[in-house]
Chains A and B, each alone.
Chain A
Amino acid sequence: MLEKIGKSLMNIKLLRKIFNWGRAWSLWSVHLETGCCGPEDMARACARFDTERFGTLPFPTLRECDLIFVTGFVTKKMAKRLKLAYEQMPEPKYVIAIGHCSISGGLWWDSYSVVQGVDEILPVDVYVPGCPPRPEAWIQGIRMLQEKIAKEGLKK
């Protein structure tokens, strides 16, 4: 019953817009670092660059997060844990791949232990290249994701 009401409410254009606006501006991110872009995660979250201005707050509880930053290379051993973390997050969830290594393997392009691009295991929404990307690039990535959410809207 409630579900039906919710679905019919979502047909109203204005309500949908408000929903997407709220979703885009409260993208809490999982505090999970796989590689060496991790320190940059602290830089973008702390006072100087402060991505909480854009609603992105690193949060320790997976079940209340909407966004996962894949920071740097993902080893094959870590890939399973990353997938596990991703599966515990509630829908809707978004993935941003940070750095060359998580996009294509980067420096470890011929390694026996590194996943060649995190898009082999997770559906990536935004790619942010760099080694590591500057915090400004992270902010641009977050803004791109927000635009994407506003444009594409709710997942049905």
Chain B
Amino acid sequence: MTSMEEKVVESIKTRFPEDIIEAKVQRKNRVSISVRSDKIYDVGLFLRDELGFNHITSVSGVDYIDTKEFEVIYNVWAIDGKVLVSLRTKIPRDNPTLKSLIKVWEGAFYHERETWEMFGIKFEGHPNLSLLLLPEDWDGPPPLRKDFLLPDTPQEKLEEKIKRAGGQ
């Protein structure tokens, strides 16, 4: 008897043989799927309609500054099948745009908005890409990128503080 995890991997490999870079069972209840960035919308639709992945739990980004790529990870849970799929895709760092998956999973709204403000990844088709967690008057670069630098280093700030307090 094949488990739900193997069934997911097999069916996605037979449906999208060209576009899946890697699909594997990580452990019990965990499946990882890497997909080409232009096909993520179709794979998302397939996961939702055919395999019953109906609950989006998180969207996150990873900054691979050495290979000049961003990775966007959609974690989707199947409530009936009890499997979590990590749907991964890589996009170039100098032009980070990706088709929004709001039409597939409505719940991706806030997660994509947060990924946009923290990594600067533009989600095409997202209706409201505005600041969510950062202060309203934030004008710096996205703070979770690896090349983000603080406006003043903590050491300088500390020295200034000590000087202000009248210490050495």
A residues sitting closer than 8 Å to B (CB atoms) are: 75-77, 80, 104-105, 109-110, 112-113, 116-117
Contact yes or no, B133 A77, CB < 8 A: yes
Whether the Cβ atoms of B143 and A112 lie closer than 8 Å is: yes
Taking the complex as formed, is B166 at the interface, i.e. its CB lies under 8 A from any CB of chain A? no
Q: Which residues of A contact B154 (CB under 8 A)?
A: 105, 109-110, 116
Q: A76-B135, A77-B133, A77-B134 are in contact. Are A113 and B161 (CB under 8 A)?
A: no
Residues of A within 8 A of B143 (CB): 112-113
What residues on A are CB-neighbors of B161 within 8 Å?
104, 116-117
Distance of A117 Cα from B158 Cα, bound (Å): 11
B157 an interface residue at 8 Å Cβ cutoff? yes
Size of interface on B: residues with Cβ below 8 Å to A: 11
- B contact residues around A109 at 8 Å (CB): 154
Cα(A11)–Cα(B16), bound, Å: 87
The B30-88 residues at the A interface (CB cut-off 8 A) are: none
A-B contact list, 23 entries, CB within 8 Å: A75-B135, A76-B135, A77-B133, A77-B134, A77-B135, A77-B136, A80-B135, A104-B161, A105-B154, A109-B154, A110-B150, A110-B154, A112-B140, A112-B143, A112-B148, A112-B150, A113-B134, A113-B135, A113-B143, A116-B154, A116-B157, A116-B161, A117-B161
On chain B, the residues within 8 Å of A117 by CB distance are 161
> Closest 6 A-B residue pairs measured CB to CB?
A112-B143, A77-B135, A110-B154, A76-B135, A109-B154, A116-B157
- On chain A, the residues within 8 Å of B140 by CB distance are 112
Binary CB contact string for chain B from 140 to 155 against chain A (1 if under 8 A, 0 otherwise): 1001000010100010
- Identify the closest chain A residue to B144 (Cβ): A112
Q: How far is the CA of A110 from the CA of B155 in the complex (A)?
A: 9
Give Cα A113–Cα B148 distance, bound, in whole angstroms: 13
